[in-house]
Structures are given as C-alpha cells and as structure tokens.
Structure 1
Amino acid sequence: MNKVKKEKRMFAYKSILCATDFSQNCSQAFKRAAELARAYGAKLTLMHVVEYFPEQRSNEWIEREGEDPKDFEQRKAQEGLDKLAGQVDIDVDQEIRFTNQSAKHEIIRYADEHGIDLIVVASHGQHGILPEVGSTTHALTYRAPCDVLVVRATE
C-alpha cells in the first residue's frame, strides 16, 4: 500500500485587514499586522468603523460647534489612522467606514468584498471591560470569510 505524502504548504497572505478603535490594544494588533504584511509582502489595510450613534459618544467625540457630525467623525478617524500608519515603515491603505450597523458587520462585509485573506484584531478594544474577548472580535472569529488573528493584549 502506497502512502500518499501530504505536502505541507505555508499559506502566503496577500491582503491583510487590521481593524482599530484606536485603543492601546488595537495599536499592538496593528504593529503585528504590519510585521505580517512585511513578512508576506502583503497589502495592509487599516480600517476604522464609525458606528454612527452620536448619543453613545464620549465627550472627546462631541463635534465642535458648527462642524457637521459626520465631518467631525471623519476628521478624528483620519487623524487616528494617520498616527497609527506613521508608526510603521510600510505602505498602509486607510479605510474609514460609516455604518448604521455594527462594526463587526462592516468589517466582515469589507473583507468579503475586497478579498481579504487575514483580519488582525485586538483581543478587546475600548469597550472591553472584562479581560475577555470583545464582542466584535468574538463575532469575527465565527463569521469572517477568512482567517482571523486575535492579538492578545499585553499590560
């Protein structure tokens, strides 16, 4: 009986998406995503999703008088993405998405529509009160159309 030898191949990621809410944990996840993108020669996209519910925003997100709320959100998000992207030495595409749905839904949709083959996220972001996996991260591990790397938060 001939044994068929299974060939082991390492999958080379070509398109990596890192979702961020600008928390410290997400910053660590982005640095890991950049390392992977550099190692694989992959395209790296950094994404922030604005779940547009102004009544749930903290004081730092309240728009300046006279500024359109969406313009304010766009400006603040772009500043955050620029700051993160400036911390690595590779090209980073930046994506800001506004949605009336959850961030997890928008991340999954974007990954599916753009052929993303790896999503990198922090174990939990700004809203993670308990040291468990956040709800967005949890949902992505079950519903994403590709691999998901969860970067554990370090203290």
Structure 2
Amino acid sequence: MSYHHILVAVDLTKDSHKVLERAVGISSRNENAKISIMHTLEPLGFAYGGDIPMDLTSIQDQLDEHAKKRLAEIASSHVSSENQHVVVGMPDTEIHRFAEENDVDLIVVGSHGRHGFALLLGSTSTGVLHGAECDVLAVRVGKKGEKTDE
C-alpha cells in the first residue's frame, strides 16, 4: 500500500510530537507523501450545554488563536503553514470530513490504549477508526503509569 496524503490529528499535548514523527517516517517511505495536520476545538457551547447567557465568541476566538500557535510550534519543522488546520467541531466528525474532502488515504492519531471503563466511554481515536473511509494508524502515546494531559 502506498500513501499519498497523510492526515495527522493531534490534541496539542506533548505527545503530539510523537504522533507527527510517526507520520513523517511513513511519508518519507512513501515518496514524501503530503502531510496535513489538524487539531479540533469543540465549540464552547457544546462544553457548557448552551446554558451560559453570554456571548462566547471572543473566548472561542482566543482559544482558536492559542491552538493555531501551539499547532505551529508542533508542526512547523515538518508541515507547511497552509497544511496546518485548526477547526471547530466534534473531533471524529471533523477528521472524517477533512479526510474525505482532501483525498486523505491515511489518518494518524494518538491513542492512550485505555482499557476497561474508559474504553467503554470511547475516545477520539476510537471514533476516528470506526468511521474512517481510509486506513487509520493509532500511535501508542504516554508511558505506562504516566499521567497524561487528557
């Protein structure tokens, strides 16, 4: 299987570098396949159930700017700025949408390899895997016993 366009979906934690590095390696073995990287911000209205009687637009804009800066810190050495994307929405839905609209043939995501109850609740990587039209690589992140940012 040869890949032409790889989408790296990151959560902006310190583990994001590890996920991107894996995609860079795959790209180099596939005639320097194009790499796009994205982070998805959930809308503040979703997080608070729409019950806050105030305009959250400026706060959402600040979160968006912070995410773009952090994504550039992570990606700038491997991914050009026009291929760095911060979108607002539900992560698995937005990753699937981007992949379909941009002819992505491999999605690379980080996975903490949760077990038991956390597995039943689901995760972004599980959601991406189950709805993807292309290959998905879940990169194990976080050391055993280590607390993560999620």
TM-score, normalised by the number of residues in structure 2: 0.75
CA contact (8 A) 2:44 2:60 kept: no
What are structure 2's unaligned runs of at least 5 residues? 49-56, 144-150
Match of 1:30 among 4, 20, 39: 20
Structure 2: distance between partners of 1:117 and 1:81: 22
Correspondences of 1:33-72 after superposition (within 5 Å): 33-40=23-30, 41-53=32-44, 56=47, 68-72=58-62
Deviation (angstroms), 1:114? 1.0
CA contact (8 A) 2:16 2:74 kept: no
CA contact (8 A) 1:20 1:26 kept: yes
Give SS of 2:67's match: helix
Q: How many residues align?
A: 131
Query: What residue number does 2:146 align with?
Result: none
Q: Considering only CA atoms, is the larger Rg found in Structure 1 or Structure 2?
A: 1
Provide the identity percentage. Answer: 31
CA contact (8 A) 2:6 2:27 kept: yes
1:106 matched to 2:94: yes
CA contact (8 A) 1:34 1:90 kept: no
CA RMSD of aligned residues (A): 2.8
Give SS of 2:133's match: coil
Instruction: Give the aligned residue type for 2:33.
Output: A
Structure 2: distance between partners of 1:70 and 1:82: 18
Query: What residue number does 1:8 align with?
Result: none
Structure 2: distance between partners of 1:91 and 1:131: 39
CA contact (8 A) 1:25 1:123 kept: no
What are structure 1's unaligned runs of at least 5 residues? 1-10, 58-66
CA contact (8 A) 2:41 2:87 kept: yes
TM-score, normalised by the number of residues in structure 1: 0.72
Query: What residue number does 1:4 align with?
Result: none
